[in-house]
Structure formats: C-alpha cells, structure tokens
Structure 1
Amino acid sequence: MTRRFRLLVLLVVLVVTGSVVTLWAQRDEPEPVTILGPWTDTQERQFEEVLRGLGVPFDYQGTAAQREVLLSQVQSGDPPDIAIMPGVGELAEYADQDRLRPLNGLYDASEYGAPWSSAGHASGAVYWVPVKADLKSIVWYRHGNEPTPAPAPMESWCMGMGDDGASGWPGSDWIEDLVLQREGPDTYGDWALGRERWTAKPVRTAWEAWGRLLQRNPTTAGEALLADHRGNPDRNGLLFANDRGCTLEHQGSFARAFYGDRHAGLVDSAKLLPGGPYPQRAHEVTGDFAALFSDRPQAKELIGKLASREGQRAWATFPNVFSANRGVPRKAKDTGKQISEGLTGPGVRCLDASDVMAPALRDAFYEATLLTMARAAAGTDLGIRSLLRDLQRVQDAQPPTRAGLERVCSGPP
C-alpha cells in the first residue's frame, strides 16, 4: 500500500427485506505522517506528546541509527515523509539528489536567526529547519569544583569517545572548538565549508594542541578511548560516574540529560582549552534538522506546525530540550537560562563543522580523532600531519553540493 490513501473498500451488506441489496463505498482515513528521528526512550515519549498536540496523525520511529535506517528506506524507494537528522551534511546530499521538498512558506523563517536560517539552497529554497538545538563550546563541572580560568590538566577531563555508530565525534568537538577559539569564526567557517585546507596551520596547530593534552596522560587517554560519551546510564553520566576524580566535561548542552538528578554548572570553554586561555570568539552549536521527503499536504502541515513558534514552545517545555526559534521563551534559571541565551541571544554562533561536512569526510574526521587518541594511549607518535593529508584527500574527492551552506557562523568575530 502506498502512503497516499488506502484503496477504496467496498462493503456489501445484504439486507433481507425482500430482494433489496444495499451497496456503498467507504473511504478510509489518510495514512499517518511517517517521521524518522533520533529520539528514543524518554525523549521519544516527550516528542510524541508534542506531536499529538499538533493535531496531525503521525507514526514516529526513533532510532540511534537514523542515518543507516534513512539510507535503507531511501534506497528501497520508501523514505519517511519527514526525517530529522543531526546536522545538514547528509541532508545536503539528499537535496542534491532532488529527494527533498522545499519548506518555503510552511513556517515563519524570520523566527530563526543565523546561522540556523542560513541552511538553504543557492536558489533560495530552504530544505531543512532545526527542531531542536544544543549549545557547544561549553564545559560542565561538578558543583564545588568550579574551574579556574586556565587550561586544565588531562586528569581533570572526563572524556568518552564511544557512541552508537558515530564513535569519535567527541574528539572532533575538541578540535573544532580549538579552531574556533584560536582562529575565530571566519577561519572556522572556511574550514567547515572546505575553503581552508586540513593541512593548513589553523587546523594543524589546533589538532596538535589537543594531541599534546592527550599525551600528558596516556592512561587517561586509553580510558577515554574505551568509554561511552554518555557514561554509565545508571550512574549519572561521565561527570558523576567515574573512579578517577575528573571534574570537567567538554560536551554540549545535551549532556544535562545524562546527569539525571545530579546538578552541574557550566562555563565557556575557551579559557580551559589546551594552549589557552583564549578569548571566547563564538559558541559552536548543533541541531536536529527536519527535512521533507514527501509532497503530502499532511506532512507539510506537520513540519510547519513543528517548526512554528507554538510547536517549538511546546517541545521546549521539557527540561533538556532547547529551541533555535527566537520566539520561544528562554529557560528561566540555572544552566537552562545560560544555554537558551547562548542559542538565541547576542553573540556569534557557528554550526558544528563536522555536521556541515559531507558524510564521508565527517566519518573520516571521527576516525582520525580515534587514531590520535589510540596513539596517545600507546605512547607512539601521533602522526598528525599524515592524518591531515589523508583528510584533505577525502575532502578533495567530494563533489561540490548545490545545496551547500553559504555561511556557517552568524556574524563577524
């Protein structure tokens, strides 16, 4: 059966009143809008609660492997009506293949400031919108262990490189933040968009600074290589579930969801990064972006309502959900207020560089950070220059995208 309307069902009822036969046709209800997204467990239940309030029948599938699931569905010719992806690198490829439908006119785009609103097509068509946002370039700390404004030793950092199908991205966050705070948004944006070479000094020296931090304690580096970035879910995340006394965690605002009922503070990362302190040039941000694979009116209606001020307000009522929509009230207190201000208030914001990159380059980036940490743990040469040459070859092999971003950051340094 297709996802349009089910076939007309003919119902025949024989009424035994003489020889009268009554025949009529009944049209079934339209099929629900299918949505593929990244949220499972608690956030899946919260998201479905929001969807029910939008008044459009839906069928949500949450998975930690949405990239693989979406690719399989697209290749089989049966993609979801709406896909929600962490970042826009993959979505740009689908747009280039003419698989996405424009979102223009479905919601008020003026409610989303840069860099969120810059995610579009050279023709003026917009193919994705952030329906959940998170702040990066921050460091979490346990209360009572507020950091001094100086680079922290390796032993202070809670690190975990593991993730479902995307291990290594926490290392990419370190390098991205170092490029951003050391060199500023212009250089960072050029690198994210492929206009700055991997082998150039800004990227190389940032990577070397991270590598020197890892080399200071090979044992800690080895532990981080094997740890999951979420920590043990039964023990409140890496910051509170460790036996070695680390007190700091360089991770996005989504880490709040891992800490359970434990409370952590946060500070900007620039002063604590290796080789610093640096001035805080900007905040790196990330988002879960919704894209439309279908022309169905119900799908267009749902994605418009979800991206609207009202839909985003409903979603952001949950404690660990933040929105890039400027019409959504900021969280009222504590770290929630800091995160909200970082996402929609004054200051420069830059999209996560690896999220913008083509999937093949992004995956190679993740692998290279794992190799760097493994070599640090083994006490061998890090081979950073060789790794960067390999990454440049991967970048050179990528075709240009018609749906590429023109800007990654929201404004000048």
Structure 2
Amino acid sequence: MSAPPTGPGPAVAPRRRTRARTVTVLAGCLILLAAALVAGVRALGQEPTVTLLANWTGTDESNFRDTVLKPFERTHHIHVDYQGSSAESQVLGGDVEAGTPPDVVVLTGPGELAAYARQGQLKPLDDLVPRAGFGASWTTPLDGHTYWFPLKADLKSIVWYPAGTGERQLAEAARDPGQWCVGMGSGATSGWPGTDWIEDILLQRSGPDAYQQWARGVLPWQSTQLKGAWKTWGRLMGAGGNPDLVRRALKTPYENASEPVTRTPRGCTLEHQGAFIRTMDAWKRADGRYVPSARLIPGAKAADAWEVSGDLVALLHATPEATTLIRYLASADAQRAWSVRESGFSVGPGARPAPSDAGAAWHRTLAATLLDDRAVHCFDASDAMPPSVRDAFAEATIEFLAHPDHLDALLRNLDSLRLAPGLTWLQSVCDRTPGTG
C-alpha cells in the first residue's frame, strides 16, 4: 500500500527530515550500545551460558552451529559454549572424573549413557521431553525414567552402489569379496564398521527378537546365530582366503573406503554403510543409490527390519539454561533443522516431511523409512552395550579379519565380558517385534 499524498508545506517538510535524521542516528547508537553491552557481558563471563559436548566437527559442526545453535542463541539469549571432539567418550570420561562435566552431552551410545545414569551423573528428562514424540528404540527408559533422546538419526541396513549398476551386477558384486568397499580404521574407535556388519547380518538372518536378546546381554556370543553371523561376514570379506583384501580393509580409514568407486577401472562397487556416507565426495560423484542390505546378505529372512543409530542428547547439570536448551533440542524446529542441510535425519515430533518438501530423492526415501510405523527399527546393538563389551567387540572384528581361525577364542572372551558383574544392559533396543505393531 502506497503512502497517501501530502501537501508540500514549506515549514513542515524540514522538521520531518530533521526528526527522521535524529531517529535514525538514535537508533544506530542504540544498536551499537546493545552490541557493546553483549560483547562486554560475554567478555566478563556474565552472559547466561550452557556448555555442550558433542562429536561433531568439520561440516557437521558448521551445520549444527548454523541450523540449530545460532537460532537458539538468538531466541533465548543464552550463549552455547560448544566443544566438538572425535574422542568425545574419552573427553567426557576425563571431565566427569575431574568433576567438571559439561551441562549437556550428545553421545552415540545409549549403553554408555546408561552407565552414567546408574552412576547418578545424568538428570531425568521426564518433564522436559515428550517420550511419546519418539519411537521406543530411541528413548529406552532406564529404571522408569527417560535419560536421553535423539537429535540426529541415521539409517543403517543399506548397501550403496553407483548409479547405472544393474540388478545382475549387484548380485554378482555381492558374491565377490573384492567388490566390497571396506575401511575398518577410525582412530580410537577402529573396528566399528565390522560391528555394523555383524549386527546387520544377525538382524536380517535371525530377526529382531534374536537381535534384541543379544543386545540385552541374554543371547550368548557363542550361540549358533551369532557364530553364523561372524562366519557369513568373514566369507563376504574374503577373510582367510584373500590376505590382500583383508590388509586393504584393515589399513583403510572408513571415510576413504568408497574412494575406489570412482576410479577407472572401478576398484569396488558396494559399500555397507549408514546413510551418512552418501554425503562423501566419492558417492556424490558416483551418484550413489542404495538397496536394503537384506537383498544382498546371504540367508536373510527378516521382513522390513532396519538397524538404526543416532546422536543422543543427555543432561548432566539441570541449570535453567541447560533445561531450556534441552527443551529446544527436543522441539520440532530443532529436530527438523538437520534435514534442511541433509546432514542427518530426525525422528522427533513434526519430523515427517510434507509431500511437497524439496531435497534429494535418496534423502527423502531414507527419511520415510526411518519414520515408517510398519517397519521394525533396532538401535545399533554395540552402541547399546556396556562400553567394555562394545570396545571389545570392535577390537574382535579386527582380530577376526586378520585371523578368522581365532573366532572361537574371541567369542569365549566376549561371553566372559558379557557375564561380568556390575554391567548395565538396556532392556529394549527395538521399537517393536513383528506382530506387535
């Protein structure tokens, strides 16, 4: 709407211009003063602050800061002192031991969080987070309380391949150990790509019930189901028969495993990896597509069962600033922010995308699978296990690839760890089992 015309009175117009200049100058001074006050308060350490520890660095950290933290700081006028570390578990353990833990932490392992909860380090979130807003596999209760919820989710049980690869080529590649892109290296957490393999093979071959019994510490490592999963993985990787392939897998960092996909001639064709790997340069260049792993795992019988993982938020200090951040991170706005950058997925309230939502086709279909009420979603079993068992499992996958004849001894050792006193096992890792939905 246009402003109505006004008469050009000779005395009025100059006063309006002067008043406008005065208001403009005053507004500018107020803005500068406010900025100076904010800077001064921060410099004096008087601005309300909440400390947050997570494992996101690089691009993930930038996305988290831009899409989640900055809007929170602008809206609530609370500064977030963020620390990102790839050795997050070690950093948190040292901080807890020193008596200086962060206010809020984001960890990938509910098993590790359960141990901290039993030690009295975590605060219940019952009044801060609507448990009904997340599936049962994401907010597993402990002693009747909710201690964590997912901020960023990921889908596993998938195999990536380059665009243009036909069904017959996929089947042939799956039977050839040399066509699998594998990297077991990951610094202090090396071996976890192998645990993902064994978990998924067990889930697809023996079903969610056996998977859950194992993740709860009930099904023995020396059981027929578990031993079969290890042997199936060994055959897929060429363990015991192709030392060059095994050597390559053991020496390759997981983030570089897909690089041979873009070489000429192609060095590998398939990668069993979580949805996040699609953002790597090699799969971008190869226009990566995916199939459910059940289509390529020998002996798979499970119907629509998926392994999932997530970055879980927990509270260590219930300060007003920290509880405000917890409520925000559980909100639909914060949960939805990850999907905007396609740097992750959300399974929180309001996360279900609208049919008109833009984005890559692979991202939309994977998001729909994560939110599919008809499917069975089981949290990453090793992440749900007590840390001592989880770490030994990861180390055992490396030992097994190098020496598959050591399998019986490795499984006996894992069983002895499973039965150790004082461990905290979660009672559920799947949102449901077939026939209960």
Is the Cα contact below 8 Å between 1:130 and 1:287 reproduced in 2?
A: yes
Match of 1:41 among 55, 58, 72: 58
- The residue identity in structure 1 corresponding to 2:142 is H
SS at match of 1:321: coil
User: What is the alpha-carbon distance in structure 1 between the residues aligned to residue 407 and residue 364 of structure 2?
Assistant: 38
Q: Deviations over 1:128-184 (max 9, x none)?
A: 111100000000101122444744321110000000210000011111011101100
**Structure 2 counterpart of 1:12:** none
Is the Cα contact below 8 Å between 1:325 and 1:344 reproduced in 2?
A: no
User: What is the alpha-carbon distance in structure 2 between the residues aligned to residue 96 and residue 319 of structure 1?
Assistant: 35
- Where structure 2 has 5 or more consecutive residues not aligned to the other structure, the ranges are 1-43
| 2:130 matches 1:103 | no
Q: How does 1:282-297 map to 2 (within 5 A)?
A: 282-297=305-320
Deviation at 1:270, TM superposition (A): 1.1
- Where structure 1 has 5 or more consecutive residues not aligned to the other structure, the ranges are 1-26, 376-380
Are the structure 2 counterparts of residues 108 and 198 from structure 1 closer, same or farther at C-alpha, using a change threshold of 3 Å? same
- The residue identity in structure 2 corresponding to 1:220 is L
User: What is the alpha-carbon distance in structure 2 between the residues aligned to residue 141 and residue 113 of structure 1?
Assistant: 30
User: What is the alpha-carbon distance in structure 2 between the residues aligned to residue 280 and residue 316 of structure 1?
Assistant: 27
Match of 1:361 among 389, 405, 429: 389
SS at match of 2:244: helix
Is the Cα contact below 8 Å between 2:123 and 2:147 reproduced in 1?
A: yes
Are the structure 2 counterparts of residues 320 and 147 from structure 1 closer, same or farther at C-alpha, using a change threshold of 3 Å? farther
Deviation at 1:31, TM superposition (A): 4.2
Choose 1 or 2 for highest CA Rg: 2
Q: How does 1:244-259 map to 2 (within 5 A)?
A: 245-259=267-281
SS at match of 1:132: strand
**Structure 2 counterpart of 1:265:** 289
**Structure 2 counterpart of 1:17:** none
Match of 2:206 among 170, 180, 183: 183
Is the Cα contact below 8 Å between 2:335 and 2:349 reproduced in 1?
A: no
Is the Cα contact below 8 Å between 1:271 and 1:278 reproduced in 2?
A: no
Q: Deviations over 1:257-302 (max 9, x none)?
A: 22364220011001212x3354445100000101101020110110
**Structure 1 counterpart of 2:106:** 84
Are the structure 2 counterparts of residues 35 and 156 from structure 1 closer, same or farther at C-alpha, using a change threshold of 3 Å? same
- The residue identity in structure 1 corresponding to 2:365 is Q
**Structure 1 counterpart of 2:161:** 141
| 2:185 matches 1:158 | no
TM-score (norm 2): 0.81
| 2:372 matches 1:350 | no
Deviation at 1:344, TM superposition (A): 1.1
Is the Cα contact below 8 Å between 1:179 and 1:206 reproduced in 2?
A: yes
Deviation at 1:335, TM superposition (A): 0.9
SS at match of 2:227: helix
Percent identity, please.
41
- The residue identity in structure 2 corresponding to 1:264 is G
User: What is the alpha-carbon distance in structure 2 between the residues aligned to residue 112 and residue 291 of structure 1?
Assistant: 15
User: What is the alpha-carbon distance in structure 2 between the residues aligned to residue 372 and residue 241 of structure 1?
Assistant: 29
**Structure 1 counterpart of 2:226:** 203
Cα RMSD, aligned residues only: 2.0
- The residue identity in structure 1 corresponding to 2:254 is H
**Structure 1 counterpart of 2:247:** 222
User: What is the alpha-carbon distance in structure 2 between the residues aligned to residue 61 and residue 147 of structure 1?
Assistant: 45
User: What is the alpha-carbon distance in structure 2 between the residues aligned to residue 405 and residue 61 of structure 1?
Assistant: 28
User: What is the alpha-carbon distance in structure 1 between the residues aligned to residue 390 and residue 216 of structure 2?
Assistant: 12
User: What is the alpha-carbon distance in structure 2 between the residues aligned to residue 398 and residue 304 of structure 1?
Assistant: 36
Is the Cα contact below 8 Å between 2:181 and 2:269 reproduced in 1?
A: yes
Q: Alignment length, in residue pairs?
A: 374
Is the Cα contact below 8 Å between 1:33 and 1:81 reproduced in 2?
A: yes
| 2:338 matches 1:315 | yes
| 2:321 matches 1:298 | yes
**Structure with the bigger percentage of helix:** 2
Deviation at 1:212, TM superposition (A): 2.2
User: What is the alpha-carbon distance in structure 1 between the residues aligned to residue 222 and residue 203 of structure 2?
Assistant: 16
User: What is the alpha-carbon distance in structure 1 between the residues aligned to residue 183 and residue 219 of structure 2?
Assistant: 28
SS at match of 1:208: helix
SS at match of 2:189: coil
